[in-house]
Amino acid sequence: MSREPLPIGRRVAYLRVRRRLSQQSFADRLGKSKSWVDKVERGVRSLERVSTIREIAAVLRVDPAALLGGDVQPAGSAERREGVARIRAALSAYPMAFCRPTDREVMSPDRLARGVRHAWMTFQHARYPRLVELLPTVVSEVHRAHVLDPESGRAAVVEAYRVTAALLVKLGEGSLAWLAADRAMSAAAGDRVLLACAAVQLGQVLRASARAGTVMLAAASQIAPGTPQELSLRGSLLVQAALIAAGAGDDRAVGELLDEAAKLGVQVGDGNDHHRTAFGPTAVELAQVAAAVELGDGSQAVARHEEAIGRDGWRWLPVEHRAAHLIDAARAYLQTDDPANAARVLLRAERIAPAEIHHRPAVRDVVAQVARDPDAPATITQLAFNLGVL
C-alpha cells in the first residue's frame, strides 16, 4: 500500500525531534522565533523560499531535497520505467511464430551464450539499472536465433527468460515477470533440466500462490539426485516450495522441505552456482530466515541470520543474494522490536548493493517502517528521505 508523503512542516518537526532539538533551540539556530517554528510545523506558515529551506536543512543536517519529500523521486526512476517498457516490448514480440529468417545476421551460439552469461552476472552483482539496459537486446537476439535453430537455441531462450523474470521480480513488475517465467517454462518443455531451471524462477514469481508449491515439487521429482548440478536444482526447487508454504502459513511443510533441502545442500557444499542457483548449506540457512520471517517468528529468524552470516559460505554467495537476505534480516529485527539493528542491516545492504535498496519497491516499505520508528537511529532517516518514503 502506498504512503502519502508527510507535509513539509511535519517533516521539519519529525527531524527536529530526531535531532533532539526543542522548538526554542531550533528557532535560535535559525534566527527565528519559537512562534515561527511552531507555525511552520503545524502548516500554518508555508515554506516557499529556497534559501529558508536550505537553512533549515543545514540545521537538521539533511539534504534540502529531503525536506520536499513527495517531490523527491528515487534516482533513476524515469530511466527504469523506460527500460521496463523496452523489456515489455521485447517480450511482446513473437518472432518464433513467423518461422522465417530475419534480415540481419544472427548472433553465433557462442556470442549469444556469452551475452546471456553477462546478463546473469550483471544480475548477481545487483547492477539492476545496467541489466534493464541490456535485456531488451538479449531477449531480441535469442528470439532471432531461435527462429533459425529452435533446438540448439532453446537453452539460451530459457536462460534469457529466467534472468528477465528474476530482474522483473526485483523491480516489482509482477505481471511482466510472470510472462517471462511462463515463457521460460514453455520454451523448456520436454527437457527436464531446463524445465527445472525455469521452475526456480516461476517459484519466485508465484511466491504468494500456494498452488505454485505443487509445481515446484513436480519439477523437483523429475530431477533424480546425482550430480552436484542436479542436486542444486532439486534443492532450489524444494527451497522455493518451502517459501511458498511459509507464505501460506504451513510451518510443518516448511520444516520438512527445508530439512530435505539442507541434506542436499551438505552434499553440494558452499561456493557453487550451478544453474545460477547459488545453492548450498548457507543458501538453505538463508531460506530458513526468510521462512521464519514469513511465519512471523522474528526471534528464530534473527538467531539464524546471525549464525548464517558467520559462515564462510556467506562470503561466497552472489552480492544480490546477500543483499536480498539482509532485507529479510531487517524485517526479522522489526518483528523483534529492534529498529536499530534493522537500520544497520539495511544500510549494510545499501553499501554492498545500492540497487537492491534503491530499485526495489518492496524494500521501500521496509525502510519507511524502520525510519518511522521513534527508536530508529538517525542514519536511516536520510536514506528514507532519498527514497521518498518519509
The yes-or-no verdict on residue 99 having pLDDT over 60 is no
Q: Judge whether 353 lies within some domain.
A: no
For residues 38 and 123, membership in a common domain is answered with no
For residues 181 and 136, membership in a common domain is answered with yes
Q: What is the pLDDT of residues 246-255, one digit of tens each?
A: 999 999 999 9
Q: What is the DSSP letter of 6?
A: P
Mean pLDDT along residues 317-334: 98
Q: Judge whether 94 lies within some domain.
A: yes
pLDDT at residue 57, rounded to an integer: 86
Measure the CA–CA gap between 231 and 211, rounded to whole angstroms.
23
pLDDT at residue 225, rounded to an integer: 80
Burial state string for 276-301 with b = 16 or more CB within 10 A and e = fewer than 16:
bbbbbbbbbbbbbbbbbbbbebbebb
Q: Where is the domain boundary, 162, 179, 205? A: 205
For residues 112 and 170, membership in a common domain is answered with yes
The CATH number of the domain where 22 resides is what?
A: 1.10.260.40
Q: Judge whether 148 lies within some domain.
A: yes
Task: Give the rounded percent of residues in the chain with a pLDDT score beyond 90.
Answer: 65
The rounded mean pLDDT for the chain is 89
Q: How confident is the model at residue 152 (pLDDT cuts 50, 70, 90)?
A: confident
For residues 43 and 112, membership in a common domain is answered with no
Q: How confident is the model at residue 98 (pLDDT cuts 50, 70, 90)?
A: very low
For residues 166 and 88, membership in a common domain is answered with yes
- Our measurement of the distance from residue 272's CA atom to the centroid of its chain's CA atoms, rounded to an integer in Å, reads 21
Please tell me the total number of residues recorded for the chain in this structure: 390
For residues 144 and 189, membership in a common domain is answered with yes
Q: Where is the domain boundary, 187, 205, 223? A: 205
Q: Judge whether 45 lies within some domain.
A: yes
- The range of the structural domain enclosing residue 48 comes to 8-71
The yes-or-no verdict on residue 5 having pLDDT over 60 is no
Q: Where is the domain boundary, 149, 179, 205? A: 205
The yes-or-no verdict on residue 4 having pLDDT over 70 is no
For residues 32 and 80, membership in a common domain is answered with no
Q: Judge whether 103 lies within some domain.
A: yes
For residues 96 and 201, membership in a common domain is answered with yes
For residues 82 and 141, membership in a common domain is answered with yes
Which contacts (CB < 8 Å, 24+ apart) does range 344-350 have? 344/377, 346/370, 346/380, 346/383, 347/379, 347/380, 347/383, 349/322, 349/323, 350/383
What is the domain count for the chain?
Answer: 2
pTM above 0.85, yes or no: no
The yes-or-no verdict on residue 6 having pLDDT over 80 is no
Q: Judge whether 2 lies within some domain.
A: no
pLDDT at residue 2, rounded to an integer: 44
For residues 21 and 133, membership in a common domain is answered with no
Mean pLDDT along residues 332-338: 96
For residues 50 and 124, membership in a common domain is answered with no
Q: Which residue has the cell 536444482?
A: 233
Q: Judge whether 363 lies within some domain.
A: no
Q: Judge whether 142 lies within some domain.
A: yes
Q: Which residues contact 41 (CB under 8 A, 6 or more apart)?
A: 9, 10, 12, 13, 16, 23
Q: What is the pLDDT of residues 220-275, one digit of tens each?
A: 999 988 899 999 999 999 999 999 999 999 999 999 999 999 999 999 999 999 99
